[in-house]
Amino acid sequence: MLGSALALKLIQGGHDVRILVHRTRHPRLEGLGLETAQGDLLDPPSLERAMEGCSTCFHTAGLVSYARADDDNLYRVNVLGTRNVLKAARNAGIERLIHTSSTAAVGASDSPERILDETSPFHPQWERVPYMGTKRLAEDAVRAAVISGLEAVIVNPSTIYGNGDINQNTSRVIHSVKEGKLAAVPSGGSGWVGLDDVVLGHLLAAEKGRSAERYILSSENLNHFETLNRMALAVGGRGPRWTLPSVWAGPVLAAAWGLSLIRSRAAFSPAFARVAFRYRYFSSAKAHLELGWNPRQTLEEAVAQALAS
């Protein structure tokens, strides 16, 4: 979703664009005249061939999953894959690399009053959530590469809504709301950001970002109940009617463990349950100040785009 939207924006800006394609290119990029390189994050020679002659690399590839079956794949793709990208970038003479991380690498808190930023300590408990832990390790690899001489900037989007989400990473919940399938949601909340604003943040990071620094891109912090009911109004669906209080966190985690033993690919997983009742609220003040990033999309606009794709 993000890589295709970024490539399209770069083409519209007059840049020569080459994309790394694992199997097939994203349908939004058909017929645009960009260059394609076949490769794999776990195949270092293919990465060097893809980067040959390029000045800037946007590393947006990664695996997003909370399913227990993907624990090993998350490490291979997000950590080993990022290390391979960084090494290839140095060998290919890339002048500047923009690494797409996530606010998952920043963490979460127990209170809606605690707003996290780029300096917030990453609590060891989040290493037990493989997606969060692997995104954090990938950032460590980027910082190590900077010490070795690579110029690289990190961006941390929160939950992204927009068009082109062919893997249904975030648009799945929009469809569930439209179909009225969510009667109750956990307490807790999350930041969100529209896809167009994330693309803008990447371009600004490439232009103005300081090497080795991270920049959070998040438009608004909302509890889950408010997020889903605003979505329902936007798409003509039905939002949840109840919020599960935090005392349900333990039983929900136990239920998720039981389900994962039967269905290891279930989205309702122990990793998901560990963060469902927490608050992933973030400040984008640094991106505003240093990059001049000012998000414009409303949640309703981003959700409408997601449904239209």
Query: Hey, which residues are catalytic here?
Result: 131
Query: Please, are residues 199 and 4 in contact by the beta-carbon 8 Å criterion?
Result: no
Residue 309 to residue 28: CA distance in whole angstroms: 9
**Could you tell me which residues are beta bridge partners of residue 215?**
155
Any residues with CB less than 8 A from the CB of 44 and at least 6 apart, and which?
84, 87, 88
Q: Please name the helix (run of DSSP H) or strand (run of DSSP E) that holds residue 186, with its range, or none.
A: strand 184-186
**Could you tell me which residues are beta bridge partners of residue 89?**
none
Do strands 189-194 and 184-186 pair parallel, antiparallel, or not at all (unpaired)? unpaired
Residue 218 to residue 297: CA distance in whole angstroms: 11
**Could you tell me which residues are beta bridge partners of residue 227?**
none
Query: Please, are residues 200 and 6 in contact by the beta-carbon 8 Å criterion?
Result: no
